[in-house]
A and B are shown apart, each in its own frame.
Chain A
Amino acid sequence: MSTAVDAQAPTPQSYKTDEHPIWCPGCGDFGVLDSLYKSLAGAKVDPKNLVVVSGIGCSGRTPGFIKSYGFHSVHGRVLPVALGVKLANPSLTVIGVGGDGDGFAIGGGHIPHAARRNMDMTYIIMDNSTYGLTKGQYSPTSPVGFQAGSTPYGNIEQPLNPIAMLISYGASFVGQGYSGKPRELADLISRAMAHPGFAFVNVISPCITFYNTYKAIPPRLTELPADHDPSDQAKAFALALHTDRLPLGVFYQSRRPTFEEGVAEVIKKAQASGRPRLEEIFAEFS
């Protein structure tokens, strides 16, 4: 590892490791990584207390590029591993990263439960609407008609809507960013990291090699209405349904007890009459 991070005044640069990203030149994920460096520096996160968890896919190598503790797990299992980390040490800053395949296809079953539990972590999806690492098959967010190796006659399945899905699952923070707008994205990730609870950030991050949307995406980008109230879940959901436009910013945010707060409450309740000695637990079975 190169220079140490100055915990008092960290710079985005100081979170970089010596490992150079393996991504194709022009990959949207570079923008996500740069934004993440900025947010980490802004929040003055001490690398020793930072855990970055990833699954498999182009996004999977992200932990190697950030000064931190990292966990490069198996395909689709970012959220279970992050849950375990939080159970063992709730004080850690945990960032989960994944792609649309890792998060919404193979790992899709974990998202509603992470949203319900509301553990205090940030989950960033780098959504390029294709499987880049396996050379461009259609993904859960590819449009109908998407033509590639496994859909030679065009995709016949409707793409899912990540923002609407997360809002309906009850995630307590749901935002959307674009890798081509790193300043705004860094701001969004910073707000997500500051949010106490499960913060989901969907980042539209084009794949320059297999599904180049650099021209198609920008005209669809828009801001959320200036008067949007992020605590209004129904309004946020309605906004998410207009998929012809891609609003950026915080769709929904609410403060409710986090998983860690719940765990602490349970422990307090269980220890109401003190912490038992082992012999006392044994004695219950005599």
Chain B
Amino acid sequence: MPSNSNSNHRDVDYVFRVGGEGGEGVISTGEMLTQTLARAGYDIYTFRTYPAEIKGGHANYQVRASGKVLLSYGAAVDVLLAFNQEAYDKHIGDVRAGGVVLYDSDSFTAAARESLIYYPVPLTSLATEKIGVKLTKNIVALGVLGQLFDIPLPTFEHLLKERFGRKGETVVQKNLQALHVGAEYIAHQRKQDAILLGPGPRQTKSLILSGNESLCLGAIAVGCRVYAGYPITPASDIMEFLAKELPKLGGFVVQTEDEIAAIGAVLGASFAGAKAMTATSGPGFSLMTEMMGLGVVAEIPAVIVNVQRVGPSTGMPTKTEQGDLYLACYGGHGNCPRIVMALTSVEDCFYGIMRAFNMAEQFQLPVVVLSDASLGHRKATVPVPDLSRVPVIERRKPSLEELVNYKRYQYTPEHVSPMSVPGVSGGGYIAEGLEHDETGYPAASNHENHLRATNKRYGKFHAVEQMANELTRIYGEPHPEIGIIGWGSTEGVIREAVQLAQEKGYSVGALHPKILYPQPLAKLTEFLQGTKAVIIPEVNYSGQFATLLRKRFAYDFVQLNKCIGLPFTPKEILDKIEEVAAHVHSGRRSSAYAAKL
């Protein structure tokens, strides 16, 4: 095998995809490859789809590895590892010209395409004959990948020891053996491709996290100690993560009988002084809306995470969508100001959830945090978190003077009142879902009081909107001809599309707020001025954010909607930029053009 010492590792940028039968280790093979690439010093960005079935169905896992910071899961596939015919048929069209196909020649024989390089490897028989365990075919495949592309084998070995250590020495040895069986097999074949990685360029310590894992670490860091939830794809792993970690810190996770109970327990725990959260997906979030209103009117800090999936109803439980924005902003009855945030990257999941808790505490209301299946379940390399970036904020407690004739819902200039907790003498009050006066006393028939109290609750938005402006990011040109407005998990892919468009000479820039409700109106106004067209890409059907913005701005936004349960690729956004730019430059852009889209 040739060494990779001469190539520039910063130029490494490859997409690997593994496909096969669900439940046969496809996902864990992808994960091990990912972890090894990350530990070898590369930036990684994964994407996975998995069937709704537990066993069977098609599963695939993709990892992009690069010497530079990655913003999207990439475009064409450089290396496809197919365990069966179905995986081959499904993905072969995505492999770039000159790309590599590795496949299990015991399972099928690929009808070779001329533009591609093929390595048929008898993965199953190598596993059964040399190791005696069929499932080690996954590890044999990793050995093949490691040897063929110079992904350091010692890094794989280290990982296998870690991963299988608890199962005993025999299991570890069998896996190490399988790795080397794969490596030796391919070492005797002629290398036909030019893909070589070697050690990556990154020296600094980083973590390998999924969006959901990053969110959990942030929640722990900001002081969340109570979690209540109900299992639901793609949010269950948040509950499982915290169930393991919170008790170590003196906290606890309770799996409730439904999502209504989950948010009820969160409100009860927060009322009693703990930082508490729940995480769910669309169906569970729908159930929570009544309780969210209670949190608003009783002014209780709470964090509600919605890892969005395709809806409505059961929809496509394992697929991604940005379809719950309307519900997050407007779900529930009455005039009901809550904060809605959207997480933008795996790293942002950490700091974003910290900010969500901070805002819940500072403004004493529920904060809805939108993630989605593509973000929650993809892995990325993230610098070790710097806690000083988001100082922890605690709720305002009553002073001793305020505890004399204590008024829980006292009117204050900032519209936030001192919040007592059980155990404090003189601080007793009723957390009240009926409309109430400053003391918490029900005032369900006092018409003027309702306006005063509603003003108080909405009054918090002045300060939140200021934060929304501060937490809005701009990429590319700050005053572009073609603007893009995105939200949530599309941040990276939009940034990459903007870079590509700028390289092609387009005047383009993107605005990406982290707080979606209330909206960062000052930042949006400033950004829109001078633009000739603005594209709003969303992974949904109707353009939910575009609709919210049309209520605020008389602007003829161009929607770009993707509604097939998959995230955008940079090219899809780039194509739209070029198409819109062509219309702008031809002077043909008109409202008719926008309406057609």
Interface, chain A (partner B; CB < 8 A)? 1, 19, 47-51, 53, 56, 61, 63-64, 67-74, 77, 79-89, 91-92, 109-110, 112-113, 117, 263, 266-267, 269-271, 275-276, 278, 281-282, 285-286
With A69-B430, A72-B434 given, name 17 new contacts (CB 8 A): A48-B422, A48-B423, A48-B427, A48-B428, A70-B431, A72-B432, A77-B260, A83-B264, A84-B264, A84-B267, A87-B228, A87-B252, A87-B265, A275-B250, A278-B220, A285-B207, A286-B208
Please report the C-alpha to C-alpha distance between residue A184 and residue B272 in the assembled complex, in whole angstroms. 32
19 of the cross-chain contacts (CB-CB < 8 Å) are A47-B428, A48-B424, A48-B426, A56-B433, A69-B427, A69-B430, A72-B430, A72-B432, A73-B267, A77-B264, A86-B268, A87-B265, A88-B276, A266-B247, A269-B247, A271-B248, A271-B250, A285-B208, A285-B209
B245 touches A84 (CB 8 A): no
- B200 CB to nearest chain A CB (Å): 15
A80 touches B260 (CB 8 A): yes
B144 contacts partner chain A, Cβ-Cβ < 8 Å: no
Please report the C-alpha to C-alpha distance between residue A92 and residue B422 in the assembled complex, in whole angstroms. 8
Identify the 10 closest CB pairs spanning chains A and B, nearest first: A84-B268, A80-B264, A270-B247, A88-B274, A88-B272, A84-B265, A84-B269, A70-B430, A81-B268, A80-B261
Contacts of A87 on B, CB cut-off 8 Å?
226, 228, 252, 254, 265, 268-269, 272, 274, 276
- Residue in A closest to B405 when the chains form the complex, CB atoms: A1
Interface, chain B (partner A; CB < 8 A)? 39, 205-209, 213, 217, 220-221, 225-226, 228, 244-245, 247-250, 252, 254, 256-258, 260-274, 276, 290-291, 293-294, 298, 384-385, 387, 420, 422-434, 441-442
B257 touches A113 (CB 8 A): yes
Contacts of A67 on B, CB cut-off 8 Å?
428
Contacts of B264 on A, CB cut-off 8 Å?
73, 77, 79-81, 83-84
B422 touches A113 (CB 8 A): no
A1 touches B208 (CB 8 A): no
Contacts of A112 on B, CB cut-off 8 Å?
257
Q: How many A-B residue pairs have CB under 8 A?
A: 179
- A270 CB to nearest chain B CB (Å): 4
Given contacts A48-B424, A84-B266, A88-B272, contact A281 B442 (CB under 8 A): no
CB-contact partner of B221 in A82, A263, A270, A278, under 8 A: A278
Contacts of B249 on A, CB cut-off 8 Å?
275-276
Please report the C-alpha to C-alpha distance between residue A51 and residue B441 in the assembled complex, in whole angstroms. 16
Contacts of B270 on A, CB cut-off 8 Å?
84, 88
Please report the C-alpha to C-alpha distance between residue A271 and residue B251 in the assembled complex, in whole angstroms. 11
A84 touches B422 (CB 8 A): no
Given contacts A83-B268, A88-B226, A92-B422, contact A71 B442 (CB under 8 A): no
- A162 CB to nearest chain B CB (Å): 19
- Residue in B closest to A75 when the chains form the complex, CB atoms: B290
- Residue in B closest to A91 when the chains form the complex, CB atoms: B423
Please report whether the interface of chain B is mostly helix, strand, loop or mixed according to DSSP. Answer: mixed
- Residue in B closest to A76 when the chains form the complex, CB atoms: B260
- Residue in B closest to A263 when the chains form the complex, CB atoms: B252
Given contacts A72-B431, A266-B252, A267-B252, contact A285 B247 (CB under 8 A): no
- A159 CB to nearest chain B CB (Å): 23
Contacts of B423 on A, CB cut-off 8 Å?
48-49, 89, 91-92
Contacts of A48 on B, CB cut-off 8 Å?
422-428
- Residue in A closest to B213 when the chains form the complex, CB atoms: A285
- A166 CB to nearest chain B CB (Å): 16
A83 touches B430 (CB 8 A): no
B442 touches A77 (CB 8 A): no
Contacts of B225 on A, CB cut-off 8 Å?
88
Contacts of A1 on B, CB cut-off 8 Å?
428
CB-contact partner of B272 in A92, A270, A278, under 8 A: A92
CB-contact partner of A64 in B263, B290, B298, B441, under 8 A: B441
Most chain A beta-carbon contacts within 10 A, residue among B254, B263, B293, B429? B254
A51 touches B430 (CB 8 A): no
Please report the C-alpha to C-alpha distance between residue A84 and residue B263 in the assembled complex, in whole angstroms. 9
- Residue in B closest to A69 when the chains form the complex, CB atoms: B422
CB-contact partner of A281 in B217, B271, B430, B441, under 8 A: B217
CB-contact partner of B428 in A68, A73, A81, A271, under 8 A: A68
Contacts of A56 on B, CB cut-off 8 Å?
433
- Residue in A closest to B439 when the chains form the complex, CB atoms: A1
A51 touches B422 (CB 8 A): yes
Contacts of A86 on B, CB cut-off 8 Å?
268
Contacts of B205 on A, CB cut-off 8 Å?
286
Most chain B beta-carbon contacts within 10 A, residue among A72, A81, A282? A81
Please report the C-alpha to C-alpha distance between residue A113 and residue B385 in the assembled complex, in whole angstroms. 38
Contacts of A282 on B, CB cut-off 8 Å?
207, 217, 384-385
A267 touches B247 (CB 8 A): yes
- A114 CB to nearest chain B CB (Å): 9
Contacts of B262 on A, CB cut-off 8 Å?
80
Please report the C-alpha to C-alpha distance between residue A281 and residue B423 in the assembled complex, in whole angstroms. 32
Contacts of B442 on A, CB cut-off 8 Å?
61, 64, 72
- B221 CB to nearest chain A CB (Å): 6
A70 touches B257 (CB 8 A): no
- Residue in A closest to B300 when the chains form the complex, CB atoms: A71
- B205 CB to nearest chain A CB (Å): 7
B428 touches A88 (CB 8 A): no
Please report the C-alpha to C-alpha distance between residue A224 and residue B39 in the assembled complex, in whole angstroms. 70
Contacts of B244 on A, CB cut-off 8 Å?
270
Contacts of B250 on A, CB cut-off 8 Å?
267, 271, 275
Contacts of A71 on B, CB cut-off 8 Å?
268, 271, 298, 430-431
Given contacts A77-B291, A281-B220, A285-B207, contact A49 B261 (CB under 8 A): no
